[in-house]
């Protein structure tokens, strides 16, 4: 352990519950008739959006509060909503909900905040229409849209992009419609939905790039402990790697192989990171992640890795700003349709604080520097941009101002306090 100083980091820390698992647990809990309980659920704004929409569909959901057990009572059948379903800023809520609504024979209108209304939905609605749902989609390919579910048919579909949200929407339509699904993925994406469905007895088989689902299971009430979110942990691990001294551990983190690809990229950058103590909960591996102060070097990340690190690109690019050499992150087209155009926004903000960065096609180039970083960051309400630049401003002698640090609450409530808590006392 490095000597204790005001600039060093140390200790064992925890992060909020996994956002992906929380969303799916709330949606499936609302669909399973009876009482389900969820411990460690994320209490962020996105998670509250999922809770809000299923309440409007007839489920009873207790308030999402830190350290409280979340109780969900699913009705015998979902009811037609009397008002538009507000998905807030949550693309996961909107897209997975579309899949679930495809098998319900009533109309429902989905909407969200200004950012979510700009995000593409046709890639989700197209396969659902092919299965038998009716979707009235605006000409701008976003929300609000209206879906009327119906009697669904089996589908074989080639996904245009590697997307866990798109894949999950089609699988969940298979659940509510009781029909088989065959999907061909261009690359592997997160598999939380598949793991959960297997827990309920559904057949989900993956061979190479093909996924086969059969409606052999049944949703029943359940008890689930949500692991810590690995994407949230990545920001604390990066802060430790960028610190002048010390080491930290982040305990109880979900270590799903489809979610911890960022560890390999960090390691390739020279970061001293590790994973240990693996256990399993509800089909999800859980363990302790660690990181120590490190000297960083540039990396060239191939496009095929992008789907596995898509949420961590902002913090990896922030680390690249402090690595020796020129880093290139390839194949990041999907970042253009996140909460913001993260690709362009990340490059612009890096330049604003004194780091050479540019977008070339779908690639992001970052030139590392050891100069003090000074400037103002514009987040456009994007939580991962806000957290990445707060981490860059964490080491001593940096003067980075983030215009909206509170937007981190979308995925990591209390992030600023958690970051400050890394310092040795």
Residues designated catalytic:
311
Looking from the CA of 142 toward its CB, the CA atoms found within 13 Å total 17
Contact 416, 386 (CB under 8 A): no
Backbone angles phi, psi at 135, to 5 degrees: -130, 125
- What is the H or E stretch that residue 287 is in? strand 284-292
Q: Between the CA of residue 241 and those of 248, 347, 349, 391, 396, what are the distances in Å?
A: 9, 21, 21, 10, 14
Looking from the CA of 358 toward its CB, the CA atoms found within 13 Å total 4
Contact 183, 191 (CB under 8 A): no
Q: What is the C-alpha to C-alpha distance for residues 121 and 421, in angstroms, rounded to an integer?
A: 39
Angular region, 131: left φ>0, alpha ψ -120 to 50, beta rest: alpha
Q: Is 417 exposed, middle or buried (0-12, 13-18, 19+ CB in 10 A)?
A: exposed
CB within 8 A of 398, min separation 6: which ones? 372, 373, 374, 392
Structure-token pair, residue 85: 């379903």
DSSP states of 35-52 as a string? EEEEES---SHHHHHHHH
DSSP H helical ranges for 102-186: 114-117, 122-131, 164-177
Q: What is the C-alpha to C-alpha distance for residues 238 and 93, in angstroms, rounded to an integer?
A: 28
Q: Is 10 exposed, middle or buried (0-12, 13-18, 19+ CB in 10 A)?
A: buried
Smallest CA-to-CA distance from 226 within 196, 246, 263 is with 196
Cis peptide before 144 (omega within 30 of 0): yes
| Rg, Å, the chain Cα set | 21
Look-up of token digits 């969820």 = 38
Contact 93, 49 (CB under 8 A): yes
Structure-token pair, residue 182: 């065959």
């Amino acid at each position: 352990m490095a000597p204790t100083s005001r600039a060093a980091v140390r200790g064992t820390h925890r992060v909020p519950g996994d956002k992906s698992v929380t969303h799916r647990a709330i949606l499936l809990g609302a669909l399973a008739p009876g009482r389900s309980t969820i411990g460690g659920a994320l209490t962020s704004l996105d998670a509250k959006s999922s809770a809000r929409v299923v309440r409007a569909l007839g489920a009873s959901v207790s308030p999402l509060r830190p350290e409280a057990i979340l109780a969900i009572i699913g009705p015998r059948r979902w009811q037609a909503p009397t008002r538009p379903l507000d998905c807030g800023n949550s693309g996961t809520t909107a897209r997975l909900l579309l899949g679930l609504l495809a098998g319900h024979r009533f109309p429902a209108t989905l909407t969200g905040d200004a950012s979510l209304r700009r995000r593409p939905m046709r890639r989700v609605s197209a396969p659902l229409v092919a299965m038998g749902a009716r979707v009235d989609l605006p000409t701008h390919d976003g929300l609000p849209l209206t879906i009327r579910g119906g009697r669904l048919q089996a589908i074989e579909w080639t996904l245009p992009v590697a997307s866990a949200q798109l894949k999950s929407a089609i699988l969940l339509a298979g659940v509510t419609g009781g029909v088989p699904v065959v999907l061909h993925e261009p690359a592997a994406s997160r598999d939380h939905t598949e793991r959960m469905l297997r827990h309920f007895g559904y057949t989900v088989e993956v061979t190479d790039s093909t996924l086969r689902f059969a409606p052999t299971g049944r949703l029943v009430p359940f008890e689930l402990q949500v692991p810590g979110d690995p994407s949230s942990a990545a920001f604390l691990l990066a802060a430790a790697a960028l610190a002048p001294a010390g080491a930290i551990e982040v305990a109880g983190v979900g270590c799903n192989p489809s979610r911890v690809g960022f560890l390999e990229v960090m390691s390739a950058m020279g970061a001293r990171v590790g994973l240990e103590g693996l256990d399993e909960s509800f089909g999800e591996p859980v363990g302790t992640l660690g990181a120590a102060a490190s000297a960083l070097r540039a990396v060239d990340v191939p496009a095929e890795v992008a789907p596995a690190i898509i949420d961590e690109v902002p913090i990896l690019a922030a680390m690249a700003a402090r690595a020796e050499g020129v880093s290139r992150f390839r194949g990041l087209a999907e970042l253009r349709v996140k909460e913001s155009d993260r690709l362009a926004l990340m490059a612009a903000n890096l330049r604003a604080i004194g780091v050479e960065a540019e977008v070339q096609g779908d690639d992001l180039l970052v030139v590392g520097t050891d100069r003090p970083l000074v400037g103002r960051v514009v987040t456009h309400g994007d939580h991962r941009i806000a957290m990445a630049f707060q981490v860059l401003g964490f080491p001593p002698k940096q003067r980075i101002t983030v215009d909206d640090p509170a937007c981190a609450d979308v995925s990591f409530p209390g992030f600023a306090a958690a970051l400050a808590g890394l310092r040795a006392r």
